[in-house]
């Protein structure tokens, strides 16, 4: 039994499918462009407390999240704890602590930073963001500004 009138004709249904497909493709291509132009705001906390974290020994680094971004802390040869963002200033790749060569290295484009976070070679235009670290018992307090 065939209906005399249906709600949608085949043509209208296929045109709707094609329209939805084009709209999805347009949104897929437009989203990264809008995010690039207007950016996105990430609220970085003033400080965080790392509880029950293994304090790194010489030659080791411990990675953690500072807000929405990866970061790491390591112990220098003098015994000072240093923390930096683990995001390269070139194209936001994740950097790695290389204790053997005494450097911080970005594998994406061979960017090299010294243990103070300064860019030494490669394409990174700026040094790594440094965080201040304070040890309180078994916990580490990592902050944007030096604690008073």
What is the per-residue pLDDT for 139?
A: 84
| DSSP class of 112 | E
Question: How do the domains of the chain map onto residue ranges?
Answer: 9-40, 47-143
Are 80 and 63 in contact by the 8 Å Cβ rule? The answer is no
The per-residue pLDDT string of the chain (148 residues; one tens digit each, 9 = 90 and over) reads 566 666 778 888 899 999 999 999 999 999 888 877 877 666 778 888 888 777 777 778 889 988 888 999 998 888 888 999 999 888 888 999 988 888 999 988 899 999 999 999 989 899 999 999 988 888 888 888 876 6
Are 109 and 123 in contact by the 8 Å Cβ rule? The answer is yes
The CATH homologous superfamily of the domain defined by 47-143:
Rieske [2Fe-2S] iron-sulphur domain (2.102.10.10)
What does each C-alpha distance from 144 to 18, 109, 112, 125 come to in angstroms?
50, 27, 23, 21
What does each C-alpha distance from 103 to 82, 83, 99, 147 come to in angstroms?
13, 13, 6, 26
């Amino acid at each position: 039994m065939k209906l005399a009138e249906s709600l949608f004709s085949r043509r209208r249904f296929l045109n709707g499918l094609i329209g939805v497909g084009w709209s999805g493709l347009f949104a897929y291509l437009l989203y990264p462009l809008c995010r690039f132009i207007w950016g996105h705001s990430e609220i970085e906390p003033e400080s965080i407390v790392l509880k029950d974290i293994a304090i790194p020994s010489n030659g080791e680094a411990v990675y953690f999240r500072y807000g929405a971004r990866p970061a790491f802390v390591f112990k220098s040869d003098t015994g000072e704890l240093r923390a930096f963002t683990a995001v390269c200033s070139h194209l936001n790749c994740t950097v790695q602590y290389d204790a053997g060569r005494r450097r911080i290295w970005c594998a994406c484009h061979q960017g090299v930073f010294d243990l103070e976070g300064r860019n030494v070679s490669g394409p990174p235009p700026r040094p790594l963001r440094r965080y201040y670290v304070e040890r309180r018992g078994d916990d580490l307090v990592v902050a944007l500004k030096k604690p008073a």
